[in-house]
Amino acid sequence: MERLWFETLHRWLSQLPLRKTEAVEEATLGEKIVGEWHCVISDLEADIYLSLGSDQNFELYQKVGDGRHRVYKGIWSADNASGILSGKYNDGSVWGSSYKVTLSEDGASMTLAAEKASDKEQVYQRCTIPAEVKDNSITVVKSDNADYPGVL
């Protein structure tokens, strides 16, 4: 009796249509950090916004003291295996450090820990960079502006 039940069940199950299941790929680190960010915790006395584009370009807006934000541009990359973010400014100079990236579980905040100075961390919150920051910023080339070096 038990064998008959098993064979009947097997026959019935074998007639059911099979659904192809697709593996869900987790986003890479680079995909997760694309967007606009505002630095909310830093040892620097500056107002900092960071835009990481899906095209691997970045814009770093920073205002030190009074005046307008200065925008530094360049390219960035993220190594998924090591969790390291690095980049180069538009004049070809590399960032002062590469950074270990830690994202909050919801992806709303990102901590950058400098590899060259393990005690240096910056915490960013995902946001939209205000239009007045973008519209009123001064574009600089890093090597031409030693008074206001980029923070990355």
Choice among 1-10, 64-73, 124-133 with the minimum mean pLDDT: 1-10
Residue 22 pLDDT > 80, yes or no? no
Would you place residue 123 in the very low, low, confident or very high pLDDT band (cuts 50, 70, 90)? very high
What average pLDDT does the structure give for the chain? 86
pLDDT reported for residue 144: 56
Contacts 24+ apart (CB under 8 A), 90-97: 90/141, 90/142, 91/141, 91/142, 91/143, 91/144, 93/142, 93/143, 95/150, 95/152, 96/149, 96/150, 96/152, 97/152
Q: What percent of the chain has pLDDT over 90?
A: 67
Residue 132 pLDDT > 90, yes or no? yes
pLDDT reported for residue 117: 77
Q: What is the rounded distance in angstroms from the CA atom of residue 148 to the CA atom of residue 36?
A: 21
Dihedral sign, Cα of residue 100, residue 102, residue 107, residue 110? negative
